[in-house]
Amino acid sequence: PIDEAVTNGLLIHYYGEPNAVSAITDTPDVDNVFHSSIIDYVKSRLYQDRAGLATDGNIAGVSLNLSQVHERKWTEATRMIRLPDFT
């Protein structure tokens, strides 16, 4: 059984094991319509992490702003393609 309880995350469920993405040139084994929105989701989380680790307030502020930009793109994309909003 798959644990479908997700808190502050993203659950992608496959019926089979997808091909691994191990190089920058690889593409996720999902429909092309999801690629850009997945990238925005990941960028949003990476910028949040960067802001949390920054010792300079300016870097933290810029990282938080970039995180919010990508989160808005993710939210807009999930609404456009009618995905549930995971944020």
Of 17 and 76, the structure prediction assigns the larger pLDDT to 76
Q: Please give the Cα distance from 23 to 43 (Å, whole number).
A: 17
| DSSP designation for 72 | H
Q: At what angle are helices 57-80 and 35-53 packed, to 10 degrees?
A: 160
Indicate the average pLDDT of the chain: 80
Is residue 63 within 8 Å of residue 48, measured between CB atoms? yes
pTM > 0.85: yes or no: no
| pLDDT value for 38 | 85
CB atoms within 10 A of CB 68: 13
C-alpha to C-alpha distance for 59 and 68, rounded to whole angstroms = 14
